[in-house]
Amino acid sequence: MGGEALRARLERSLDVIDEAASAGTARLRDAMGIALERLGARERRALARLTVFAGGFDLEGAEAVLEDVLGHAAEIAPFIRALRD
């Protein structure tokens, strides 16, 4: 196989990989969109607040950013569990 033929073959292979990656990203985006649509406005605001954390967070951190959205601190732990489930 010559250099041009090899280059063309590799480019076709990369195109297939790019298409597959794009399809997977679209499916994930669609699934996330559906999940977000199922949340109420209050839950979406709370979830948006949790994006301040890079990686994970503990209950104290969640309480610090969610208490004014969810009201009482007692509502935060059940809310977090519901998001997880």
Task: Inform me whether the pLDDT recorded for 59 exceeds 80.
Answer: yes
Dist CA 58 CA 81 (whole Å):
12
Mean pLDDT (whole number) for 21-50: 79
The model's pLDDT over 8-25, given as tens digits with 9 standing for 90+, comes to 665 666 666 666 666 666
Number of alpha carbons in the 13 Å side-chain half-sphere of residue 58: 1
The pLDDT value given to residue 25:
67
**In contact, 71 and 79? CB cutoff 8 Å:** no
Task: Inform me whether the pLDDT recorded for 42 exceeds 70.
Answer: yes
